[in-house]
Amino acid sequence: MFNQIIRKIGKFLPDHIYIEIQYFYHFKKFVRFDNPKSFNEKLQWLKLYDRNPDYVKLVDKFEVRKHISTTVGDNYLIPLIGAYDSVEDIRWETLPNKFVLKCTHGSGSNIICNDKGTLNRQKTIKQLIKWMRLNWFWYGREWPYKNIKPRIICEELLVDESGYELKDYKIYCYHGEPKIIQVMSNRSKGGYNLNHYDLDWNEIIIERKNHKPNPNLAKPILLQEMVEVSRKLSKDIPFVRVDLYYTGEKIYFGEMTFFPASGYIDYVKESDDLLHGSWLDLSKVKNY
């Protein structure tokens, strides 16, 4: 209830005040902007002071495709079926039986269609219209989202070796160097599992609230290629999480995330928050 009230009046609050309130709501302690130590604190600091204008295009799920094409190559792009300025522009009859619809200006706004014949089109349209009206900036003050043009893209639906899902390989990169590989799996079963590995696929125990590890994850054959792709994409960026997919045959780009969980990551152990924070040197952040 408290968080809903803060969000309603949030548009009238300066960024740093809103962030301080949200940080206290999540962690029951004050964020130290003057001397941040933890990863979550440093992500809040980056919201305020790392204003690289390139980030706007990198978080835009349509515009980022140009960057991927020129940086690592078209072959890492999920095949694009269509791009639309509004929900009304979607020509449903031309879409394949399976596809994914994504709003380009936010997070978690995806429609996964496994069978167009059973898709509730009216419900889908209603949901897309709702998402298209949202500005994700106001939820966590992640400034790159503020001025993105809302659009919808349609991409091919991919699955991995499981035949029913597509695991998400989230590579945490600090100052252009990959450090941790986080794997999200079993999202289709409600909730999801989280595993963490180093660059050689040695499992690392990083406990997160309400997210258990998946005991059955195999090392991707193209692991080193995934690491190299994330290294190229994170060059000259203080922190970015590069999300990749692996179908068992090919690597595909997912998205670039500058503020995971908006800087409110639910670590069980404070030591993990501090360890991740130690890899991020704010003295190297360029003043734009």
**Quick one: pLDDT at residue 195?**
97
Q: What is the pLDDT along the chain (288 residues), one digit of tens a residue?
A: 556 666 677 788 999 999 999 999 999 999 999 999 999 999 999 999 999 999 999 999 999 999 999 999 999 999 999 999 999 999 999 999 999 999 999 988 999 999 999 999 999 999 999 999 999 999 999 999 999 999 999 999 999 988 888 999 999 999 999 999 999 998 865 679 999 999 999 999 999 998 899 988 999 999 999 999 999 999 999 999 999 999 999 999 999 999 999 999 999 999 999 999 999 999 999 877
pLDDT at residue 9 in the model:
74
Q: What is the end-to-end Cα distance of the chain in Å, rounded? A: 37
For position 104, what pLDDT does the model report?
97
**Architecture of the domain spanning 31-76+160-282:** 2-Layer Sandwich (3.30)
In whole angstroms, how far apart are CA 226 and each of 63, 122, 169, 187, 231?
21, 38, 9, 21, 9
> What is the gyration radius of the CA atoms in the chain, in angstroms?
19
- State residue 188's pLDDT score: 64
Q: Look at residue 10 in the predicted model and tell me its pLDDT.
A: 73
Could you tell me which residues come within 8 angstroms of residue 186 by beta carbon, excluding any fewer than 6 positions away? 165, 192, 193, 214
58 phi, psi to nearest 5 deg: -75, -25
pLDDT attached to residue 7: 67
Where in the chain are the domains? 31-76+160-282, 79-157
Provide the 10 A C-beta neighbour count for residue 11. 10
Residue type, 97: N
CA dihedral 201, 204, 207, 208 (to 10 degrees): -30
Residue 59 · residue 145 · CB < 8 Å: yes
Residue 191: its pLDDT value, please? 79
